Amino acid sequence: MTTYGFLGLGIMGNAMAANLVKAGFDVTVWNRTPAKCAPLLALGARQGLSPCDVVAACDITFAMVSDPTAAREICFGPDGVLAGIGDSRGYVDMSTVDDGTARSIMQAVSARNGRFLEAPVSGTKKPAEDGTLIILTAGDQSLYEQAAAAFEKMGKMHLYLGEVGQAARMKLVVNMIMGGMMAAFCEGMALGTKGGLDGSQILEVIAAGAIASPMFKGKGAMLLQGEFPTSFPLKHMQKDLRLAVSLGEALAQPLHCAAAVNEIFKQACAAGHADADFSAVFEAIR
């Protein structure tokens, strides 16, 4: 029976790992703050002592951590993934990072005779809980096929995009668009309500027309209530915008909107909304 590891039990990792355990898979978990392992252990997971410990004990190890710094730290750091990989074991990093970070991890894992797949996801806390994420993968195709049974428990769709870096790029493109949509939506809501329009009626009109979107529907209710329980931390959206703008520089693609939206999200982080949901950018806009 295939054994699975899971590193990083934040909002997303906790829900994704739980779906693997609930499916009856043999799962060993690790988190930098060990207390977050408790709900998974209660479901039947084992606890690993370090990323190295988990990777060495499992056929395939998934990771879901904050950003490029965290992804590098759990891989290259002391007792990291590299110290335990080998014998063709698989490492699947599902964190949202830039293509350069994904490639450097792939090279290091391959140099130690491990197999690497990048697999960032589209979808937030609820899809992670429901097992309906969209999983974007690139890298070792044999690992993609071997990990399919686990992907089926975590997502409603998984696809293979070729060379490492392409899944990171796909993910950044999607989130760059999403960040822009959210900023434009919040500006519209702020302008409309300041102009005396009823917020619920703005949402009703948007929902009936060509710009209707599940995101506007779901987040619109939060904007009206002024409460922003975190599904997707605002600081992570700012990280994704920063990485997208940086990719634009590398590829000489002008990104006027994304650059401006990145500044709005930076301002929202500085104003104390970093850990709130990314829809809290409304507070910095209005």
Residues noted as catalytic = 171
* Contact pick of 144, 232, 265, 282 for ligand NAP (by CB under 6 A): 232
276 touches ligand NAP by CB under 6 A: no
Residue closer to ligand NAP, measured from CB, 67 or 99? 67
Residue closer to ligand NAP, measured from CB, 9 or 54? 9
* Contact pick of 21, 56, 60, 74 for ligand NAP (by CB under 6 A): 74
* Binding pattern for the stretch 14-53 against ligand NAP, x by CB under 6 A and - elsewhere: -----------------xxx--x-----------------
Using CB under 6 A as the binding criterion, the count of chain residues that bind ligand NAP stands at 26
* Contact pick of 233, 241, 245, 262 for ligand NAP (by CB under 6 A): 233
* Contact pick of 5, 6, 9, 61 for ligand NAP (by CB under 6 A): 9
179 touches ligand NAP by CB under 6 A: no
| Binding residues among 90-149 for ligand NAP as defined by CB under 6 A | 95-96, 121, 124-125
Segment near ligand NAP (CB under 6 A), from 4-12, 17-25, 105-113, 144-152? 4-12
65 touches ligand NAP by CB under 6 A: yes
- Please give, one letter per residue, the 3-state secondary structure of the chain: CCEEEEECCCHHHHHHHHHHHHCCCEEEEECCCHHHHHHHHHHCCEECCCHHHHHHHCCEEEECCCCHHHHHHHHHCCCCHHHHCCCCCEEEECCCCCHHHHHHHHHHHHHCCCEEEECCEECCHHHHHHCCEEEEEEECHHHHHHCHHHHHHHEEEEEECCCCCHHHHHHHHHHHHHHHHHHHHHHHHHHHHHCCCCHHHHHHHHHHCCCCCHHHHHHHHHHHHCCCCCCCEHHHHHHHHHHHHHHHHHCCCCCHHHHHHHHHHHHHHHHHHCCCEHHHHHHHHC
Q: Interface with ligand NAP by CB under 6 A: which residues?
A: 8-13, 31-33, 36, 64-67, 70, 73-74, 95-96, 121, 124-125, 231-233, 236
